[in-house]
Amino acid sequence: MTAPHSQRRFGWRMVAGTLEGGTLPRALLMAALIFGAGVVFAAFWAGGAPRHPMDAYLRMGRNAGAEALRRDLSALSPAGQDAGPAVQRLIALGFTCQAPGGTEGAWRCHLRRPLESRRMLDSDAVLTVAEGRMTGMAVTMREGRLP
């Protein structure tokens, strides 16, 4: 036999009537805390930070990125100074560098890394030295497609 219409409970009244007092506010507070923790986690997980140190240069575009990298390397190793700091920075960025045969020549550094959509980044840096001191620098970035 069914209860008369006046005795039936529907919606929140039905839920609230079967719970102990204060349970529903505590459940809503816990849901808000879990949601807040998820938002904080997502904000830190995404981070907005580049995954690879070269990404900051790539976002500028090939030409502007190459010029920014050259400018940063020139600040580390100005003309007439030791090429070591610039070479160390290139290696930290993932470049492989080949030293000159003697005190004069060029450091040749190359980076090849995959990008999205089957594209590849080829970046070259050539640091010319004379008697161990910087005399010139050239940085290039190219994008190509994988076959």
What tens digit of pLDDT does each residue of 11-36 get? 555 555 666 777 888 888 999 999 98
- What's the pLDDT score for residue 9? 53
pLDDT of residue 50: 55
Site of tokens 């938002």: 39
Q: What is the model's pLDDT at position 15?
A: 55
Name 111's bridge partners.
123
Name the average pLDDT for the chain: 83
How many Å apart are CA 124 and CA 107, to the nearest integer?
A: 10
Q: What is the pLDDT averaged over residues 96-125? A: 89
pLDDT tens-digit series, residues 72-91: 999 999 999 999 999 999 99
d(CA 38, CA 43): 9
- In angstroms, the first-to-last Cα distance of the chain is 75
Q: What is the pLDDT of residue 3?
A: 54
pLDDT greater at residue 128 or residue 7? 128
pTM of the model: 0.64
Q: Please say if the pLDDT value at position 71 is more than 90.
A: yes
Tokens 């580049």, located at residue? 50
More confident residue, 61 or 11: 61
30-55: pLDDT as tens digits? 999 999 888 888 777 766 655 778 88
